[in-house]
Amino acid sequence: MFQSKWVRIPVKILLVWLVISIYFYLQHPVVYCYQDLNANIPIGDAQLLIHEILVSNLDEDQQHAWLTEEERPWRIKLLQRMYELGLPLSWQGPANKVLSFYSWPPLAEDFWSYKIFGTYISPEDIDMEEYTLDGFSLHIYPGMSRGRGCQWEETSRNAAMIYAGGKIDPQLIDNPLIMTVADKENDRTTKLIITPRWQKERLTNRVSQIERYKSPAAPVQNFMFKIYNGQPQQALEYVLPSLRNNFPLPALSEKLKGQDIEIEGLLSWLDVWNDYLSVYQMQAEVGKPSENNFVPVQKLTFYTILDHDGNHRIIGWKSAD
């Protein structure tokens, strides 16, 4: 079979490409992810729900150095050149993924990066002009705290997605970790001793996986947008897979059919709902976009949980009208 050169040449090319791909795959950062925390920590009258801890040997300081330095990585220059030459937008994403895969990302040696992701839920609407993170601090021992941030969720008026990060010795990540949360308003400190059960993966899509905020309200918003756009099958992608076959869909409001919609609401957390643990409840209001006051037309209550992949999925809903 391999006597003909017309067969041997393609086979050799394929083998060379395979070896090169394996080599570059092994150059990518390693990520250790722990998601089974189910930690609910009171911060005054609010709650802090911890979703996951990520530890990675991606050197983020070097990764973002080109933003301030004159010299940029070759793949960034190539992508910029492609954009200038008019590369279609539909091609730019795949091109970026290919160039990112066949590159040498900066890797940390002595200390790796850690990030803690969670959701801050207030009993009242959050004032966007106030800094939510001023009320508490969050870090891990043994580790060095280096930064934190938050992202407000437009869909849920009383919640914000938060993260805290730092550096940690990779030799210590299999030891018990102590997570400390300091409630500055009430001068109260909560310590959690965690023995992580890490899930290991290679980080081939560096931006989307290491810098992620996950909102419990996001699947509700996407689900309702698909419903009102006449895409019920696509809407079911935001439902827990085991429930999709017989999952009921909400009826459309006659006042909103064929129009753009806007979704707002309040987020809360439940210990148990219908035998599911650690459930987020979203009291959603659907209405028309407005520059002034939002006027709800349809009211629904949704329930979401984190699935095994760390994504929020809908597990049920009911009409609140």
The full set of domain ranges for the chain reads: 30-59+107-210, 70-101, 218-319
Quote the CA–CA distance of 98 and 40 in Å, as a whole number: 40
Which CATH number applies to 218-319: 2.30.42, 3.90.226, 3.10.450, 1.10.1740?
Answer: 3.10.450
Q: How confident is the model at residue 237 (pLDDT cuts 50, 70, 90)?
A: very high
Residue with the two structure tokens 């009171």:
42
65 vs 260, which has greater pLDDT? Answer: 260
Residue 258 gets the label, from left (phi > 0), alpha (psi -120 to 50) or beta, of left
238 has pLDDT over 90? yes
Q: Sheet containing 136-141: which strands, arranged edge to edge?
A: 136-141, 177-183, 188-194
Q: In the prediction, which pLDDT does 52 show?
A: 87
pLDDT in tens, 42-65: 888 889 999 889 898 888 766 655
SS3 state at 294? coil
212 has pLDDT over 70? no
Q: Which two tokens stand for residue 79?
A: 């992508």
Q: In the prediction, which pLDDT does 125 show?
A: 84
209 has pLDDT over 50? no
- Residue 170 preceded by cis peptide, ω within 30: no
**Which of 39-53, 86-100, 104-118, 250-264 has the weakest average pLDDT?**
86-100
316 has pLDDT over 90? yes
Q: How many CB atoms lie within 10 A of CB 57?
A: 19
Average confidence score pLDDT of the chain: 83
DSSP 236-249: GGGB-GGGSTT---
Residue range 193-215: mean pLDDT, rounded: 72
**Which of 147-156, 167-176, 204-213, 303-312 has the weakest average pLDDT?**
204-213
252 has pLDDT over 90? no
Q: How many CB atoms lie within 10 A of CB 196?
A: 18
DSSP structure class, residue 258: T
Architecture of the domain spanning 30-59+107-210: Sandwich (2.60)
Quote the CA–CA distance of 152 and 213 in Å, as a whole number: 10
Quote the CA–CA distance of 65 and 58 in Å, as a whole number: 13
SS3 content of the chain, % helix, strand, coil (to 5): 25, 40, 35
Using alpha carbons, select from 248, 183, 239, 172 the residue that is nearest to residue 45: 183
